[in-house]
């Protein structure tokens, strides 16, 4: 094989973030991560995704850990590997939009504490909600990757994806990720999509999917053959089910081909051996449910992410209406259409799902409308790819004028006020951001930290970036 023909595919390892978020409710602790970092650092990964997503909230809320401390410890251990995080655009790692000053400061602190690549997405693919974070990541010298929330529907043609990819390139982003959170991207569609994006832009293309619908490994194979540069995988003990395809399987698949990763299987086997007891422990304690390990083909029929399905089941259980499950699944696509056909990912999946449950339980559609549904129909989350159903919008917001500008344009700077509120707890600048995102949870954590008499080591905390970004 000529050198020319070689095109090794990059591997982003998700075991320290999305894999345990998807399978064990984000409960892996920093202490469980640290002993294996040295070995993981020798693999030659494109990057290790280890922060962001739900890890920030879970650290504070459930593990009583400082997420910033986790990041610093991981950074100390990974000497040769790029660290990556998931970032929800103007929502940061929370569930509502924040002012630009909070977004900029969060990006600055993430990069200062060790993040190299920030994967930024918006639930509606409204690029206006990504501009501030992309600019901030570039300004701080980070790699700004924009993730497209992949979904199906009349509006989501190849031309739609090509056009949005061009606009992302014009924004100055360094790479594009196809973020297939529900496992909807099937193999031959991946060939078409990657080929179209490669035609439209010169940016590297990364693929992220979940095994929920059972096609993910095949999808990766076709995507790589079509020119995808990087794929997201998880070490086998935390792979498959609602997580990603297994790292070792994909490395073996491409061995001896032009896409050979060059990664050593023996080293991966040692890393897998480390994580296997953690998986067994999670299974025996009930933290990992066998329900999330199987194939759920309903995700392809109803286009509903796996996490959203389990939410629906628990909502119906509480209402003693489990017999309405199929009716709710059929209602979801109808609500989604009324709401402008958004991709179903946090927070749009929760909004559409909860509204569908209410519509079915009430016996009348939109008899009751949640405040989140109202906010979405009012334009507070941004612009959907298709217009809202005008009758449903009218029913929800009455004569109120919908917002058409970028929602964050209506939010005044928040940092100074937030810092004033929480100054008694502040041990490091980063505490202001923890409080900004999750005020009650952060305060509980700060009280716990004080009771334990744990002090943040000021030499470890980032001291170079004291000034709030202008």
Residue 167, judged by CB atoms within 10 A of its CB (0-12, 13-18, 19+), counts as middle
In a domain, 462, yes or no: no
Statement to judge: residues 376 and 282 lie in one domain: no
Taking the C-alpha atoms of residue 118 and residue 395, their distance in angstroms, rounded to an integer, is 39
Residue 427 pLDDT > 80:
yes
What is the distance of C-alpha 203 from the center of its chain? Answer: 20
In a domain, 466, yes or no: no
Statement to judge: residues 279 and 365 lie in one domain: no
**Cβ-Cβ contacts under 8 Å for 133 (sequence gap 6 or more):** 87, 89, 90, 103, 107, 118, 120, 144
Confidence of residue 298 (pLDDT cuts 50, 70, 90): confident
> 331: how many CB neighbours lie within 10 A of its CB?
21
State the total domains in the chain: 3
In a domain, 108, yes or no: yes
In a domain, 376, yes or no: yes
Statement to judge: residues 210 and 336 lie in one domain: no
CATH number at residue 269: 3.20.20.70
Statement to judge: residues 281 and 418 lie in one domain: no
Higher pLDDT, 401 or 302: 401
My answer on whether omega of the bond before 390 falls inside 30° of 0, hence cis, is: no
For residue 417, the model assigns a pLDDT of 97
In a domain, 357, yes or no: yes
Statement to judge: residues 435 and 349 lie in one domain: no
For residue 309, the model assigns a pLDDT of 75
Statement to judge: residues 210 and 334 lie in one domain: no
Statement to judge: residues 358 and 426 lie in one domain: no
Q: Hey, what are 60's tokens?
A: 């504070």
Which residue range forms the structural domain that includes residue 397?
304-404
Residue 305 pLDDT > 90:
no
Statement to judge: residues 259 and 370 lie in one domain: no
CATH number at residue 387: 1.10.472.90
Statement to judge: residues 419 and 398 lie in one domain: no
Helices (H), 82-186: 100-112, 131-139, 158-171
Statement to judge: residues 250 and 313 lie in one domain: no
Query: In the block, which residue shows the tokens 């660290």?
Result: 83
Statement to judge: residues 444 and 316 lie in one domain: no
Q: Taken in order 462, 72, 443, 17, is the CA torsion positive or negative?
A: positive
User: What angle (nearest 5°) sits at the alpha carbon of residue 273, between those of residues 271 and 275?
Assistant: 75
Q: By 3-state DSSP, what share of the chain in percent is helix, strand and coil, each rounded to 5?
A: 50, 10, 40
Cβ contacts of 251-254, under 8 Å, gap ≥ 24: 251/11, 253/217, 253/221, 254/8, 254/9, 254/224
For residue 347, the model assigns a pLDDT of 86
In a domain, 3, yes or no: no
- 121 neighbors 127 (Cβ within 8 angstroms): no
Taking the C-alpha atoms of residue 440 and residue 61, their distance in angstroms, rounded to an integer, is 9
Taking the C-alpha atoms of residue 225 and residue 219, their distance in angstroms, rounded to an integer, is 10
Statement to judge: residues 263 and 356 lie in one domain: no
Taking the C-alpha atoms of residue 470 and residue 465, their distance in angstroms, rounded to an integer, is 12
Q: What is the mean pLDDT of residues 2-19?
A: 88
Residue 76 pLDDT > 80:
yes
Q: What is the mean pLDDT of residues 355-367?
A: 96
Confidence of residue 302 (pLDDT cuts 50, 70, 90): confident
């Amino acid at each position: 094989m000529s050198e020319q023909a070689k095109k090794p595919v990059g591997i982003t390892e998700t075991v320290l973030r999305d894999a345990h978020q998807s399978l064990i409710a984000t409960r892996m602790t920093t202490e469980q991560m640290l002993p294996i970092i040295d070995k993981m650092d020798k693999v030659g990964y494109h990057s290790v995704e280890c922060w962001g997503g739900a890890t920030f909230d879970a650290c504070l809320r459930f593990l009583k850990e400082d997420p910033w401390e986790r990041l610093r410890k991981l950074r100390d251990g990974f000497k040769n590997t790029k660290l990556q995080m998931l970032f929800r655009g103007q929502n940061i790692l929370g569930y509502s939009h924040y002012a630009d000053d909070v977004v900029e400061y969060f990006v600055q602190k993430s990069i200062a504490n060790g993040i190299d690549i920030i994967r930024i997405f918006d639930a509606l693919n409204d690029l206006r909600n990504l501009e501030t974070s992309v600019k901030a990541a570039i300004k701080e010298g980070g790699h700004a990757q924009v993730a497209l929330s992949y979904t199906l529907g009349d509006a989501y043609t190849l031309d739609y994806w090509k056009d949005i990819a061009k606009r992302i390139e014009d924004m100055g982003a360094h790479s594009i990720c196809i973020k297939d959170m529900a496992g909807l991207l099937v193999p031959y569609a991946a060939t078409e999509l990657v080929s179209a994006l490669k035609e439209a832009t010169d940016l590297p293309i990364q693929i992220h999917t979940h095994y929920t619908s059972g096609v993910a490994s095949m999808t990766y194979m076709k995507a790589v053959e079509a020119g995808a540069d990087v794929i997201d995988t998880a070490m086998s003990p935390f792979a498959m089910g609602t997580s990603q395809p297994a790292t070792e399987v994909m490395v073996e698949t491409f061995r001896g081909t032009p896409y050979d990763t060059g990664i050593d299987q023996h080293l991966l086997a040692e890393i897998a051996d480390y994580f296997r007891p953690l998986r067994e422990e999670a299974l025996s304690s009930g933290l990992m449910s066998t329900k999330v390990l199987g194939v759920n083909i309903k995700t392809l029929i109803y286009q509903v992410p796996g996490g959203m399905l389990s939410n629906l089941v628990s909502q119906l259980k509480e209402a003693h209406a489990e017999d309405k499950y199929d009716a709710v699944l059929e209602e979801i696509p109808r609500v989604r259409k009324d709401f402008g056909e958004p991709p179903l990912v946090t927070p749009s999946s929760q909004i559409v799902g909860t509204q569908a449950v209410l519509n079915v339980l009430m016996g009348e559609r939109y008899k009751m409308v949640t405040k989140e549904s109202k906010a979405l129909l009012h334009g507070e989350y941004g612009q959907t790819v298709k217009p809202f159903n005008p009758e449903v919008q009218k029913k929800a917001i009455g004569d109120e004028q919908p917002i058409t500008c970028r929602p964050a344009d209506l939010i005044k700077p928040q940092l100074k006020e937030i810092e004033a509120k929480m100054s008694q707890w502040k041990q490091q600048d980063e505490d202001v951001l923890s409080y900004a995102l999750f005020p009650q949870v952060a305060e509980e954590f700060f009280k716990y930290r004080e009771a334990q008499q744990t002090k943040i080591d000021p030499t470890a905390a980032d001291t170079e970036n004291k000034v709030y970004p202008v």
